[in-house]
Amino acid sequence: MAVEVRGGAAPPSVAVWNDPRARAIIFQALALAAVVAFGLYIFNNTYTNLEKRGIASGFAFLGSTAGFGIIMHLIPYAEDSSYGVAMLVGLLNTLAVAAVGIVLATVLGFVVGIARLSRNWLISRIAYVYIESMRNVPLLLQIFFWYQLLGKSVPGPKQSIVFLDIFFLNNRGFYTPAPVFEEGFWEIVVGFVVACIGSFYLSRWSRRRQEATGQQFPVFLTSLGLIVVLPLLVALVAGMPFHWDYPSLQGFNFTGGMVLIPEFVSLTFALVVYTAAYIGEIVRSGIVAVSHGQTEAAYSLGLRPGPTLRLVVIPQAMRIIIPPLTSQFLNLTKNSSLATAIAYPDLVAVFAGTILNQTGQAVECMAITMAIYLTTSLLTSMFMNWFNASVALKER
């Protein structure tokens, strides 16, 4: 009887502070309010103190003229550009190092990780020595080392090392010809895009065919051919709508062409060899973690060692590799801020360095810099989480 009564009627009314759900909401609201109040308090105090000392505050300075030169800029920049543009230049330089570094470190890391597992004694020892020496020397020292080595081992501009009369290497950088686009260049771009889309559909078609009939199709080689040949054909038909701008020695230095400055090269190199050592260990642990039974099962089905690694072991290892790989990507991006040590104009050097100093607005500059790094890292994490989900074990 009693059970029936409790089940049928509305629950007895209790005081709000005795209701666990209401209490939970109240406490969370209070905690949030305390955090917000603390934030406002800090903000207000900072603002008041800055004002009291006559130090300029606010973000208006981003529009003022920068007035200083930056050695490497991926977007048009001149001394009369604004601090805001200079900040973008620094940000793009950071992203350039991070992007190139992440790609190269991943490739090198996978090679090293697999080499470490090789049955060949020499190869696995070399990989072992590489990993242990790279990850046990502070990165800043490595950056200095490569920068000094590069600076001391290559000659000055007048004694440049020349390859094929169009590539020049000297202590001011590596000079290559630069393509100059003419009218009609967009046709090549269209050709490239069409080839990419074609490859995508090709791979989808081939996967469906394989699922239906079991027949395989050489997707990789076909796509590669498509992406290379189609733009090339378009270029020939359109009559090569671009020409090359060759570097030449004028006065002190080379002008024209493109240049990779030694600061960029040594920073990227140091970041790549350092991070690849960690990635190598991550890859190795991922592969080792896949049960040996999987390999044996694959062999017993008649798969050869190559396809076994590619189709059975690596896909399962990826699920273990990706989360720690993400944090290595984030580390590489954040470590690129050590650029300041060798005059590479990254975000920290340009914005939290020069601009902070010329404007004196330390609080704003540091806040913006931190916000940018946070955003970059969160975006990288988001992408990697999506990628991780896409390779995760699909339980059917």
Partner 1 sequence: MKHLSLVAAGAALAMFSMAGTVEAQQTLAQVKQRGLIQCGVSQSLPGFANPDAQGNWAGFDVDMCKAIAAAVFGDVKRVKYVPTTARERFTVLQAGDADLLARNTTWTMSRDTQLGFDFVGINFYDGQGFMVRKDLNVKSAKQLAGAAVCTQTGTTTELNVADFFRTNKMAYKVVAFEKNDEVLAAYDSGRCDVFTTDRSGLAADRTKLKDPNAHIILPDVISKEPLGPLVRHGDNNWGDVIRWAFFAMVNAEELGITQANVDQMANSPNPEIKRLLGKEGDFGKMLGLDNNWAHNIIKMVGNYGESYERNVGPKTPIGLERGVNALWTAGGLQYAPPVR
**Shortest separation between residue 349's beta carbon and partner 1, angstroms:** 7
Residue 384 makes contact with partner 1 by CB under 8 A: no
- Interface with partner 1 by CB under 8 A: which range of 54-62, 196-204, 284-292, 302-310? 54-62
User: Between 143 and 234, whose beta carbon lies closer to partner 1?
Assistant: 143
- Residue carrying the six token digits 């955090």: 35
Is residue 255 near partner 1 by the rule CB under 8 A? yes
Interface segment toward partner 1; rule CB under 8 A; list 178-186, 211-219, 307-315, 358-366: 358-366
Q: Does 45 bind partner 1 (CB under 8 A)?
A: yes
Q: How far is CA 34 from the centre of its chain?
A: 37
Residues with Cβ within 8 Å of residue 93, at least 6 apart in sequence: 72, 73, 74, 264, 339, 344, 345, 346, 347, 350
Segment lying near partner 1 (by CB under 8 A), choices 9-17, 46-54, 100-108, 203-211: 46-54
Report the distance separating Cα 145 and Cα 139, nearest Å: 10
Chain position carrying tokens 């190092």? 97
Closest CA to 163 of 72, 247, 244: 247
Q: How far is CA 289 from CA 107, 175, 281, 310, in A?
A: 20, 45, 12, 15
Q: Judged by CB under 8 A, which stretch of 22-30, 118-126, 290-298, 341-349 contacts partner 1?
A: 341-349
Nearer to partner 1, 222 or 253 (CB): 253
Q: Is 338 in the site for partner 1 (CB under 8 A)?
A: yes
Ramachandran angles phi, psi of 69, nearest 5°? -95, 150
Give me the residue label for tokens 């359109």: 238
CB 93 within 8 A of CB 74: yes
Per the CB < 8 A criterion, the answer to whether 17 and 23 are in contact is: yes
Stretch that binds partner 1, among 117-125, 193-201, 234-242, 347-355 (CB under 8 A): 347-355
Segment near partner 1 (CB under 8 A), from 223-231, 277-285, 318-326, 336-344?
336-344
By CB under 8 A, residue 112 contacts partner 1: no
Bridge partner residues of 170 (DSSP): 173
Asked if residue 257 binds partner 1 (CB under 8 A), the reply is no
- Closer Cβ to partner 1, 238 or 366, answer by number: 366
Tell me the C-alpha to C-alpha distance, in Å, between residue 204 and each of 191, 198, 311, 318, 396.
20, 10, 17, 22, 21
Specify the amino acid at residue 204. R
Q: How far is the CB of 337 from partner 1 (least distance, A)?
A: 8
Beta strands in 19-166 (DSSP E): 161-163
What would the x/- binding string for partner 1 be over residues 145 to 174, using CB under 8 A? ---x--xx---x--------------xx--
- Give yes or no for a contact between 275 and 151, defined as CB atoms under 8 angstroms apart: no
E strands, 153-305, are: 161-163, 167-170, 173-176, 178-181, 242-245, 248-250, 253-255, 258-260
Applying CB under 8 A, the site for partner 1 has a residue count of 52
68, 181, 200, 299: which one binds partner 1 (CB under 8 A):
68
Nearer to partner 1 among residue 29 and residue 370 (C-beta): 370
Q: What's the rounded Cα separation, in Å, for the pair 92 and 98?
A: 10
Q: Site for partner 1 (CB under 8 A): which residue of 19, 50, 294, 331?
A: 50
Residue 58 as a binder of partner 1 (CB under 8 A): the answer is no
Footprint of partner 1 (CB under 8 A):
42-43, 45-46, 49-50, 52-56, 67-71, 79-80, 148, 151-152, 156, 171-172, 250-253, 255, 262-263, 337-338, 340-343, 345, 348-349, 352-354, 356-360, 362-363, 365-366
